[in-house]
Each structure stands twice: as structure tokens, then as C-alpha cells.
Structure 1
Amino acid sequence: MADLTHRRAAPARSAPESRGGWVRRIESATPPARDRGVDALRALAILGVVLGHWLVTAWALAPTGAVHISSPLSHLPMFTPLSWVFQTLAVFFFVGGYAAARSRLPTSATATATATATATTRSLPPAATRPARTWVRVRTARLLGPVVPLLLVWAGIVAGMALHRMPFGTIRALTLPAVGPLWFLAVFVALTAATPLLLRSRPLVTAAVAGAVVLGVDVVRFWLDGPAWLRWANLVAGWLVPYALGAAWANGAFASRRAAAGLLAGGTAGAVVLIAGFGYPASMVGVTGAEVSNLSPPTLAAVCFGIAQVGLALLVRDPLTRLMRRPGLWAVVALANASAMTIFLWHQTALTVTAVAALRFGDVPGLLSTPDEPIWLLHRLAWFPVLTALLSIIWMSVFAKRRFNDRVSSSA
């Protein structure tokens, strides 16, 4: 998809004609061997994360005017099933492991086609033939690209809030959700860097070992009164499970629907048993004030839930592939994939900047009001068009800068 950002601007056209041309350009630029079903899974995972964060990230105003972090799930537990729908990080790690492994496998037709298209644009050898060190450097540089602008923007916002003499607690409450996605990126970069090593071993065995580590940490943590810091071992081990399953899929595992159904059934059964029989939280996202979070870091229940999601993803991959034959739908998915990391890192900024702008108006429903009534959810949904518009502006700014840099690089 890289060549889509290098086209010279076309003359002005009518809106329908421009949209049609845009769709046709993306369709013609897509390699025939591109796995559109996998791209659709990644787009759905990003959509779930964005919508989920926009639904559960909340603030409340204290009588003093200070802002503190809240959660609708701590006040409205009947909405807990929403976390089962929108907590889709395991799918993102699964697809990430699959894509990384495919790009390193020289026998992969998909990887070869995609790498050849990329190499034509960037004058690099195909990914599968690069030395592991070069592959890791290129891959991590691409992932880390959007981080510096995000940090610079938030350094400016924090400085502005400090100049306005906002309390430290308010600044912290408004900043943490915005920079929170960086923890995900750090883990994802670490797993990406470990991909060559992962492929030298057996990914399925690695996934099993990582799952055993999560189990052991939970046992020590919850039943043996182990040290609190030990739980952070699960931050890598927990997400290594779906990532390694993705690498195993790239190596030919889970070729049958029976295997996918087994993952779905086994993961679901494990999560249900842990929640119903062992007291794990039902919510698959963190809840303000809760003693235990399934997500920070991942617990065994979250890992089982992720395995179930992997099974479901495998089952719907073929129907999604057929659906992606529609050029218009594929164009949207392709753009979402090309901007996946930008969308992920900046979506909470769109929400938080909106909340900061609303501070002068006080207890704004759906933004700065306590999420303790069902109507709050409707108020928050009413803000979604604003958040989407702001995220689109951010995306267009990043995209325009990328095109400018590409032109400068190509003319140098």
C-alpha cells in the first residue's frame, strides 16, 4: 500500500468522482496476493479498541473543580458485557504476530508480493531476505514513527495546563488516558523485535510456555501472597500468547475450522470457569477502583478470553476475505491498516483534548459528568461525531506530513 502515498495530486473533481478515483487507485495498488481478510481483522481490532476506550474512559469533577478519572463500569456494572465486545487487543496482537512472521518467511507468497511492492518504493530488499537486525530496525522504526509527535503535543498541552495553574491531580487525570496507548506500543515493539527469535523456535510451544508463565504468576499473586511487582511479568507473557499464535498461524497452524472452533470453545470455557469459579473480574478492561484488573497486566482470564477471540477471528477470516472484494469497503479497510498505529496512538488524544476544551463549561454531560446513570452512555455516544471529526483532522495532518516528507525524500 506504500505507493498510494506517492501519487501526484490530481486536478479538482466532483466529490463522487474523487471518491470513485480514490477507491480505484487503492484497488489497483493492492497486490493480488494481499490477504484482505487479515487486514479486515486488524481494522476491526482497531475499531474495537477505539470505540471501547471512548466508551469507558471517563472523568468526574470534584466540588473543588478538580478532575479525577472515573469509569462507567464502576457505577454501571450492567454494561460489563460491552467490554467483551470492544476489548480486542488480543486480535491486534494475533494479526501482528501473523503479519510479522509472514514477512520473515521466504516461502510466503503474500509476504513476497507485499515486500516486493514495498521494496520498489523504498529501495530495500524484500523483508524475507533482509538480515534479522535490519528487519527489526525497519519494522520498529515504522512503529515508533508516530510517538515523537504525540509526546511533543502532550508536552505542550501539559505545559499549557500548568501555566493555567491547574492542580497536578487534574493534569495527571487528563494526561494519563492520552499517553496510555504507549504501554501497548512498548510491548508490541518488544514482541516485534523478538520475532526472528520466535520463528527459530516453535511458536505454539512458545505460546504454551507464555500461558504457563501467566498461570504461575497468577497463582503466586492471588493465592500465595507473592510480591506485587511479579504481576508485571504478565505484561509481556500475556500478550506473547496471541502474538505467538499469530506466528504459528503464519507457519501453517490452525488450517482447519475445527482447530479454530477448539480455540474459541476452550478459551471461552477457561474464561468462564475463572470468572465464575475463581473470582476473576468479569470486565475485560480496567475498572477504576477495582482491586484487580484483567488487563493491567493481563490475567489468565484475559489470556483465555484472548484465545477465544483468536478462534473467532480464524472462523470469520474467510467471510471477511469475501467481503473485502467490494472495492469501496476494501478502500476503507486499507486506509485503516495503513494508519493503524496513528489511529491507535492518537484516538485518546481526540477524547482528552475535547474534555480539556470543555473544562470551562463545568460538568459537561458525557465528558466531565460522573458516569453513574445509564443516560451518561447516551451522552457519551452523542460526542462520538466530534471525537471522530477531531481524530480525522489529526489523521489528515499526519498523512499530509507523511506525503510531504515522501516528496522531499524522493526529490533529494
Structure 2
Amino acid sequence: MRAFHRAAHRLHAATPASRDRAVDALRAFAILGVVLGHWLVTALVAADGGLHTTSPLQHMPRLAPVSWLFQTLAVFFLVGGHVAAHSRATARARGDSYAVWLRSRLTRLLRPVAALLVLWAVAATALLLTGASLPTVHALLSLALSPLWFLLVFAALTAATPLVARLNPLWPLVVVLHVDLFRFGLHQGPAWLGWVNLGAGWLVPYTLGAAWARGELRSRLSAWSLLLGGTAATAALVTWAGYPASMVGVPGSRISNLNPPTLAAVTFGLAQCGLALLLRDRLRRATARPAVWAAVAVANLSAMTIYLWHQTAMMATTATGLLAGRLPGLHTPPGSLTWVAYRIAWLPVFALVLAVCWAAFRHHEQVRRRPGDRGPRILHRHHPGGTAGTASAPRSGAGSPRPAAPDGGPPPRTRSHA
């Protein structure tokens, strides 16, 4: 513990005062919410000689409010838009081309994916060769690779940052409104029409993040408007317009709020963004404590590794547990609150297996600096006031800790601390 506190204090001291730590805290919160949400609402039931995917929300609809706590993707897109807008402005200031900027960001985002794909290609082949049923392998692959949809959307929005950074969030919100009107109100349009919302729906919080980067959401009035307006709109849509109360997909449900996003999911995301903006000052004060900041920084350095491997950690635990028989909360149908209690008891085990995955695969995300690579002399920094800024990179000792990069990926390859 003494070593941890010493390292935390070094990291705290090495972080520039100009860095907006609330941005990193919100990203860490969003990742944690997604991970815990998936672990709580996803069940692999052992039956008929295989594993089948189901959800406690399918059997206990009254637990839908649980999804309100852990469906935090809107916060991630809010932070993503904020950081991408800052990053692009800084890249232009130092003369980097769009291609150089985009390659840097997508490399940090997509590099960890290769290891996941290779491992599951080998695992799926081995399962089929050893007699596992095709439905079981399909269920496992669907869960393991489900995080990739998010990365594809996030990568597309990142690439479009120069075009959408100044887009008013009302425009994609209007697109979502009209798509849902055709789908659910008029029952017209082709079957693929709903997938327009996959881009438009997440573009709403992304453009809000870009507006935050421009300093347009500084006032508490703006945050309260998003929180109260989004909450009221979501309540109205669920109560009177027939939208599901669950903010995640539920097997067997006629409508999913998430796949693709509906108007209710988007208005719920607006409320989440408002709450996130209201919490900025509290998060800055909390992360001023070295121990808290160290935890947030580590989570940001490994954000994609944690996100990509959390489902694999759950499935590895489930598959290994079959050696001991059908264990409650792990292989049994999620039809009662007893199952929920057992599942909560399994969460530390999932976290331990995820830690093993993190130790094995984090190097794919945390790219090491090549010897002699001094990197750029201009650094991007978060500014609490909402304006982008640059600063000359001061020299630092080789033994100093390196805090998290602005995009949650590896630290910038420089001699200073971004």
C-alpha cells in the first residue's frame, strides 16, 4: 500500500494542473457502467447440452431500472466528442494533416481488437472440433464480439469529427425522431430504416461533447435543461408512446431501445449527459486526491482492453464453472431475485478473471515509445474552462509516471506528461 501511495502521489504531481480530470473520470465511469451492466443483465444458461443466452430482464421486467444505472454509452460518446474536438484543434495548431491525426486516433482505438479476434477465432475452432454445438459457439461468439459494434460506430464518428464538430445536436435528434415516427407511428419504411439511428442516435451525445469542448455548455442551466428535459421526454415516451422501460436489449422483446437506438434511448442519453455535466466540479475535486486519480488514470490507460475483454472474462468463468456442475447465478435460469443475489456474488470472480485478461493483453493498447522517439513538442491538454489549448512540452525525468492519454489510449509519445 505504501508503494501504491507513493506511485499515486508521483502520478498526481506529474499531471499538469491544466488537465480536466473530470473528463477522464467520466470516461472511467462510463466503461465501468457498461461492464457491470453486461455482467448483471446477461446470463448463459446451461441446458440441452449447451449454453444459451438470456437475461434476467426477460424474466423479471420489474428490474428494468437496473438498466438505467448501467447503460452509460451516452456518457462515453459525450466524452469522445469532447476529446476528439480538442484533439483535432490541437493537431491543426501544430500542422498535422487530417490523415496523420486520424491514423493516430484509430490506431489507439482499434489496435487492441486484433488480439480479441485472433483468440476467439482459435477458441471457436477448438470448440467446434471438440464437439461443442453450433448454437453454443454462436452464443459465445455473439457475446464476445458484441463490443465491436460500439467501436465501429465510435471510429466512424471520430473520422467525421471535422464535419460534425460544429453540428447542432438538434439535427441528429430530429433525424431519430422522424425515423421512429415512420417505424412506430406510421409503420412505414423499409426494415433497415431503424439502423439510420445507429449513427444519428449516438451523434447526439457526440456533438454535445464537441459543444462542450467549444465552451457552449459551461452553465449549470444548460446541464439542468438536458437532465430535466431528457428525463421528462423519456418518461413520456415510456409511459404513453409504448417504448420499453429497459434501456438495454431484452431477448424476445418486440422493441429494443438499444439495437438500434430509439428516440427513448437518445432522450435518456440527453439526461445522462446533463447529469455528467452537473457532476464536473465534484469529479474534479474527487480526482484531486492522488489515490482516486491514480485509479482513474489506470482505467483510462486500459479502457479499450477492459471494454473488449469483459465479456470474455464472464464467459471464461462460466465455462470453467461447468466443471463443478450447474452453479447458481452462473448457469441457472435468471428467474428470481435469488439468482440476482448469486450473480452479484460472482462479480468479484468476473473482475479477477478480467484482471488476468488485462495483464495478458494490455500491452496491445499501451504502446511503448521507441527508443530515440522524442515525439511532438506540442501537447494537447484538457482545460476545465472548455477551451482547447496547447503548451510547449517541458522535459521530465525518465522515471516519472505517465498519466492517461486524453483519448483513453496510450500516453502520447513525448518527453512530458499530457
Instruction: Give distance in 2, aligned partners of 1:148 and 1:105.
Output: 29
Q: Provide the residue aligned with 1:151 in structure 2.
A: 117
Q: Provide the residue aligned with 1:101 in structure 2.
A: 85
Instruction: Give distance in 2, aligned partners of 1:400 and 1:22.
Output: 20
Q: Provide the residue aligned with 2:51 in structure 1.
A: 67
Instruction: Give distance in 1, aligned partners of 2:12 and 2:89.
Output: 25
Superposition pairs of residues 380-391 of structure 1, within 5 angstroms: 380-391=343-354
Q: Which amino acid aligns with 2:40?
A: L
Instruction: Give distance in 1, aligned partners of 2:15 and 2:309.
Output: 26
Determine which of 226, 230, 243 is the counterpart of 1:263. Answer: 226
Q: Is the alpha carbon distance of 1:129 and 1:21 closer, same or farther for their aligned partners in structure 2, counting shifts above 3 Å?
A: farther
Instruction: Give distance in 1, aligned partners of 2:210 and 2:316.
Output: 37
Superposition pairs of residues 117-132 of structure 1, within 5 angstroms: 129-132=95-98
SS at match of 2:201: helix
Cα offsets for 1:292-343 (capped at 9, x unmatched): 1000110000000000000000001111101111000000001111111111
Q: Provide the residue aligned with 2:288 in structure 1.
A: 325
Q: Is the alpha carbon distance of 1:343 and 1:215 closer, same or farther for their aligned partners in structure 2, counting shifts above 3 Å?
A: same
Q: Which amino acid aligns with 2:295?
A: V
SS at match of 1:318: helix
Matching of residue 31 in structure 1 with residue 16 in structure 2 = yes
Q: Decide whether the 8 Å contact of 1:284 with 1:302 is kept in 2.
A: yes
**TM-superposed deviation, 1:37:** 0.9
Superposition pairs of residues 299-314 of structure 1, within 5 angstroms: 299-314=262-277
Q: Provide the residue aligned with 2:61 in structure 1.
A: 77
Q: Decide whether the 8 Å contact of 2:329 with 2:342 is kept in 1.
A: yes
Determine which of 194, 200, 204 is the counterpart of 1:241. Answer: 204
SS at match of 1:157: helix
Q: Provide the residue aligned with 2:30 in structure 1.
A: 45
Q: Provide the residue aligned with 1:115 in structure 2.
A: none
Instruction: Give distance in 1, aligned partners of 2:315 and 2:193.
Output: 31
Instruction: Give distance in 2, aligned partners of 1:128 and 1:99.
Output: 17
Higher helix content, 1 or 2: 1
Q: Provide the residue aligned with 1:92 in structure 2.
A: 76
Superposition pairs of residues 341-356 of structure 1, within 5 angstroms: 341-356=304-319
Q: Which amino acid aligns with 1:134?
A: V
- Show structure 1 runs of 5+ residues with no match: 1-15, 107-124
Determine which of 186, 208, 220 is the counterpart of 1:224. Answer: 186
Matching of residue 410 in structure 1 with residue 395 in structure 2 = no
Matching of residue 55 in structure 1 with residue 40 in structure 2 = yes
Instruction: Give distance in 1, aligned partners of 2:31 and 2:138.
Output: 25
Cα offsets for 1:217-265 (capped at 9, x unmatched): 1111112222221111111111000001100111111111011100101
Instruction: Give distance in 1, aligned partners of 2:316 and 2:126.
Output: 12
Q: Which amino acid aligns with 1:228?
A: A
Instruction: Give distance in 1, aligned partners of 2:276 and 2:140.
Output: 34
**TM-superposed deviation, 1:41:** 0.9
Greater mean alpha carbon deviation, residues 167-176 or residues 296-305: 167-176
Determine which of 175, 191, 198 is the counterpart of 1:213. Answer: 175
Q: TM-score, normalised by structure 2?
A: 0.86
Greater mean alpha carbon deviation, residues 354-363 or residues 80-89: 354-363
What RMSD over aligned residues (CA atoms) do the two structures have, in Å?
1.7
**TM-superposed deviation, 1:401:** 6.0
SS at match of 1:105: helix
Q: Provide the residue aligned with 1:135 in structure 2.
A: 101
Q: Is the alpha carbon distance of 1:235 and 1:128 closer, same or farther for their aligned partners in structure 2, counting shifts above 3 Å?
A: farther
Q: Which amino acid aligns with 2:174?
A: A
SS at match of 2:293: helix
Cα offsets for 1:61-102 (capped at 9, x unmatched): 33x222211000011112111100110000000011001111
Q: Provide the residue aligned with 1:17 in structure 2.
A: 2
SS at match of 1:59: strand
Q: Which amino acid aligns with 1:213?
A: V
SS at match of 1:371: coil
SS at match of 2:45: strand
Matching of residue 190 in structure 1 with residue 151 in structure 2 = no
**TM-superposed deviation, 1:28:** 2.7
Q: TM-score, normalised by structure 1?
A: 0.87
Instruction: Give distance in 1, aligned partners of 2:68 and 2:194.
Output: 22
Residue identity over aligned pairs, in percent, reads 52
The alignment of Structure 1 onto Structure 2 pairs a total of residues equal to 372
Q: Which amino acid aligns with 1:172?
A: H
Instruction: Give distance in 1, aligned partners of 2:350 and 2:184.
Output: 39
Q: Decide whether the 8 Å contact of 1:103 with 1:128 is kept in 2.
A: no
Q: Decide whether the 8 Å contact of 2:108 with 2:365 is kept in 1.
A: no
**TM-superposed deviation, 1:362:** 3.9
Q: Which amino acid aligns with 1:294?
A: N
Q: Decide whether the 8 Å contact of 1:127 with 1:135 is kept in 2.
A: no
Instruction: Give distance in 2, aligned partners of 1:291 and 1:359.
Output: 32
Cα offsets for 1:122-164 (capped at 9, x unmatched): xxx7876421221111101110011000101111211121112
Determine which of 276, 281, 306 is the counterpart of 2:244. Answer: 281
**TM-superposed deviation, 1:411:** 6.9
**TM-superposed deviation, 1:29:** 2.6
Q: Decide whether the 8 Å contact of 1:66 with 1:170 is kept in 2.
A: yes
SS at match of 1:296: coil
Q: Provide the residue aligned with 1:11 in structure 2.
A: none
